[in-house]
């Protein structure tokens, strides 16, 4: 009887091992170990593309039309693979290869047979990827996706920013929305979020940008509320950097840049003007285009989420954006000088909506931006 129980136990252990034949990864040169979960589909070992993306910083794109086959473009280590649904064949560098078992879809998830990882990848990356007794050795992948965001709540401390007719301070609104946005980015996207200030303190404009650069931020988001000499102005606008400004944007630019002369002392303006060479260098990089894309997505989601006047995406020469070597935008969330908008801006529920809308714009940008960076 004991022998029977022992035999059943061995069979059970064997069956569990068979079901959980995960793939071991060793990332060189530091030897970091990871595990890719394996699942059984149609009696064969498969790995989901989402798990591969998580562990190997890859990405995939689904393509389908009534005129072509259903295909999935898989990007890994700067190379592209094209899988056809329910087919064991895939394309790599214009050649066709066989991975023995078909590429499958289960629900909204896509799966490749484990043979693709253990047998095919080492052939495509000779000398870089090796299969040693079922363990895959490969270089540690470079994660070029958006991982770290710096949020800059405008003004603070001795610089209250604009003050509304009822005494609402811009610096307080900016910080409240920034803290809400920080929470969303951390909880929903798992990003590392740093803030130029977390309380009511003064931080110079140059130090805000320097903080983002020093921490190698992937995005820089400066949050503000607008003001006008007339209390009828309303709506939301989002800016990115440029030396060329419209008449309207120059007024906002002058308002935001005026804190330099007011609170940073004599000669501070000349210090910022000396950064023009940095600006010109930045204009020759990809950051300007991506800043435009980020501003557009954030503006679109703000207008849709808040249902307010769309003042558009604009360019201005904001000191706080100068020298930011990453996509960088400045958001004007509404006019605190407008009594009706001041009441809204001071409302915690409205601040939640603002943060949620900005978050949605950043999330959509990250999805597009990550795809560009990971496939380059």
- Fold exhibited by the domain 148-374: Aminopeptidase (3.40.630)
pLDDT of residue 11: 47
Note the pLDDT of residue 366: 94
Q: Is the separation of the CB atoms in 39 and 50 below 8 Å? A: no
Q: Of the CATH numbers 3.40.50.1950, 3.30.457.10, 3.40.50.1820, 2.160.10.10, which one belongs to the domain with range 21-139?
A: 3.30.457.10
Instruction: Provide the pLDDT for residue 17.
Output: 40
Asked whether the whole model's pTM tops 0.75, one would answer no
Gap between the Cα atoms of 318 and 330, Å rounded = 8
The two structure tokens encoding residue 188: 């929903």
| Boundaries of every domain in the chain | 21-139, 148-374
Q: Which residue has the tokens 């920080």?
A: 182
pLDDT at residue number 229: 85
Residues in the chain: 376
- Position 67 scores a pLDDT of 57
The three-state secondary structure class of 144 is: coil
Predicted local distance difference test score (pLDDT) of residue 8: 45
DSSP string, 333-362: EEETTSHHHHHHHT-HHHHHHHHHHHHHHH
Q: What is the mean pLDDT of each run of 10 residues along the chain (376 residues)?
A: 48 44 91 93 95 90 72 90 94 95 95 96 94 93 89 95 95 98 96 97 90 94 92 92 58 48 50 47 66 96 95 85 86 96 97 98 92 74
**What are the Cα distances from residue 165, in Å, to 108, 157, 216, 349, 351?**
52, 20, 39, 21, 19
Cis ω for the linkage preceding 29 (within 30 of 0): yes
């Amino acid at each position: 009887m004991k022998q029977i129980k022992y035999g059943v136990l061995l069979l059970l252990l064997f069956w569990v091992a068979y079901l959980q034949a995960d793939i071991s990864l060793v990332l060189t040169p530091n030897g970091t170990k990871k595990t890719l979960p394996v699942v059984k589909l149609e009696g064969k070992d498969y790995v989901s593309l989402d798990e591969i993306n998580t562990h190997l910083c890859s990405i995939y794109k689904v393509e389908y039309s009534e005129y072509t086959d259903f295909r999935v473009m898989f990007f890994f280590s700067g190379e592209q693979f094209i899988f056809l649904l329910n087919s064991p064949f895939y394309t790599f560098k214009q050649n066709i290869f066989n991975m023995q078992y078909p590429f499958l879809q289960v629900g909204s998830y896509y799966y490749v047979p484990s043979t693709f990882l253990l047998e095919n990848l080492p052939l495509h990356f000779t000398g870089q990827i090796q299969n040693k007794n079922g363990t895959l050795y490969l270089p540690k992948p470079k994660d070029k996706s958006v991982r770290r965001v710096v949020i800059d709540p405008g003004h603070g401390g001795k610089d209250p920013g604009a003050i509304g007719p009822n005494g609402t301070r811009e610096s307080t609104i900016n910080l409240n929305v920034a803290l809400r946005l920080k929470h969303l980015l951390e909880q929903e996207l798992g990003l590392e979020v740093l803030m130029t200030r977390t309380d009511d303190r003064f931080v110079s404009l140059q130090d805000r940008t320097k903080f983002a650069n020093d921490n190698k931020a992937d995005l820089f988001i400066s949050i503000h509320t607008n003001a006008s000499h007339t209390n009828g102005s309303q709506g939301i606008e989002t800016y990115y950097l440029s030396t060329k400004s419209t008449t309207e944007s120059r007024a906002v630019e002058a308002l935001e840049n005026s804190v330099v002369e007011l609170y940073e002392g004599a000669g501070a303006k000349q210090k910022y003007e000396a950064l023009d060479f940095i600006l010109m260098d930045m204009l020759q990089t990809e950051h300007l285009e991506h800043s435009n894309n980020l501003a557009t997505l954030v503006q679109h989601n703000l207008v849709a989420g808040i249902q307010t006047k769309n003042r558009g995406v604009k360019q201005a020469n904001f000191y706080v954006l100068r020298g930011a070597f990453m996509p960088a935008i400045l958001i004007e969330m509404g006019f605190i000088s407008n009594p009706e908008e001041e009441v809204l801006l001071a409302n915690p529920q409205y601040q939640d909506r603002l943060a949620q809308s900005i978050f949605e714009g950043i999330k959509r940008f990250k999805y597009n931006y990550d795809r560009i960076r990971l496939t380059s």
